[in-house]
Amino acid sequence: MTEIKLYNTASRSKEVFTPLDPKNVRMYVCGPTVYDRAHLGNARPVLVFDVLYRLLRHVYGPDHVTYVRNFTDVDDKINATALARKEAGAKGTLEELIAERAEETIGWYLTDMGALGALEPNEMPRATEFIGQMIQMIERLIADGFAYAKDGHVLFRVRKYDAYGKLSGRSVDDMIAGARVEVAPYKEDPMDFVLWKPSDDALPGWDSPWGRGRPGWHIECSAMADELLWEKPVREGRLSAEAMQKPHVFDIHGGGLDLQFPHHEDEIAQSCCANQTDEMAQIWMHNEMLQVEGKKMSKSLGNFFTVRDLLDDGVPPEVIRFVMLSTHYRKPMDWTEKKRQEAEMRLTAYFKATENVEAAQSVPQKLVDALANDLNTHLALSELVHLHNNSMLPELKSGLRFLGFPDAEDVEWFRGGTKMAALSNLSDHSTLLLELLSRWQEFRDKKEYAAADELKQKLEATGLKLSVGVAGPEAEPTGDFDPAKLEALK
């Protein structure tokens, strides 16, 4: 069996992954708060953990992996969005508009992420379906002195949990000194966080021992993860005796780096205290953030866009997936026009090479090994280059499938013969160009620099600008690019 190694944020080291129960590997990933379209940064954790899900299914079997990703459908941002719609004249009560908005946004999310090739998780719970479990968990925390109720609120006593801050590597005092914390009359300590808060008649609310209200954000994930990855499998008798030795603990918890603190820190605190455990999950994984052309994506910079924006602008979903996977998940991902063009060129070549080719029955082991080494998707994409250059086309098709790319026969833009926007002047020559770039790299690898320089000069004389990027040699067309000159270099 393939050995998988994953970087554990909690231990700050790469560890051999040993599931508590190989016949029921359990993973929870924090999903979206459903108040608007998913932006490009929201797609990164989806694709990162989709690749991990595919790897786990490959190693342990599709029927032996449980992947849970939630929807937060009760939140102040959703309330604010619905309120704005009501003030703009939308019909219905505020609560009806909130439910309508959540339903609409969940549909958008699943459609957009599905377009990117992401498999749907085994479980996609909505927070509003687990209010009872949240209330029960809060009651246990109060009974054991880890939480307290005041003025319709329930708060977690951060200083009562000695391990608070371990995941993010910060002390409570440092957090107070370096962060803005809400000071409120119902708090015993500024760092205490909300488990439950009151709702007025217009907002969504549920009856509770502390009055009509709604849950805080952090308790939602703790309750849903415990119910679906512990309580439910126990009820159904789906956990081994070994897994039962660690009650309320599952294998992997993932999400974006922005969730490490406070969300995941708070999840650990309330889960461990409510369930009387030393840990919530064995391994914590966090993907780095996304940038656009080297800058943080923001509306003020004019570089903010959703996945749907890109799709509507004609960027093939396979290209978005390829660019996302070209950078290791623990490094900042920079979306650039150059990377987009490179992805289009490579995918065009791969689809041309594998069209009507029968895929190999097994996935190339080097590709599996690349992903098993802490999801090294960059190395996995490099293996595709090797398979293509060596005309190992059945293996190339199998590898593309494993990484979540569709078969050439099922790609509409490829089957229809339409040219992609960013490389309309290169798509018809991508196979030849990749061969020439590979030859240039081969000269460089063999230190035959005179031959490499000569070929580079010839390529650049066609109107291309050559460089070496993270995925290998790259070519960017200039305004003077002449395809006829490129054909002459065959």
Tell me the binding residues for ATP.
Answer: 299
Q: What is the DSSP string of 236-301?
A: TT-S-HHHHTSTT-EEEEEEEGGGIIIIIHHHHHHHHHHHT-S-SEEEEEEEPPEEETTEE--GGG
No. of helices (H) and no. of strands (E), the chain: 19, 15
For the annotated binding site, the residues are: 30, 221, 263, 267, 299
CA-to-CA dists, residue 419 to 64, 112, 124, angstroms: 41, 22, 36
AA identity, residue 346: R
- Give the Cα separation of 70 and 222 in Å (integer): 11
Any idea what the Cα angle at residue 411 is, between residues 399 and 51, rounded to 5°? 40
Strands 193-198 and 213-215: antiparallel
Residue 4, token pair as written in the block: 């998988």
Strands 25-29 and 250-256: parallel
Strands 213-215 and 250-256: unpaired
For the annotated binding site for Zn(2+), the residues are: 30, 221, 263, 267
Nearest 10 degrees: CA dihedral of 331, 336, 338, 339?
A: 40
> What is residue 227's three-state secondary structure?
helix
Among 276, 274, 264, residue whose Cα is nearest residue 167:
264
- Give the Cα separation of 87 and 486 in Å (integer): 59
Cα-Cα end-to-end distance for the chain: 44
Among 379, 403, 67, 24, residue whose Cα is nearest residue 234:
24
> What is residue 453's three-state secondary structure?
helix
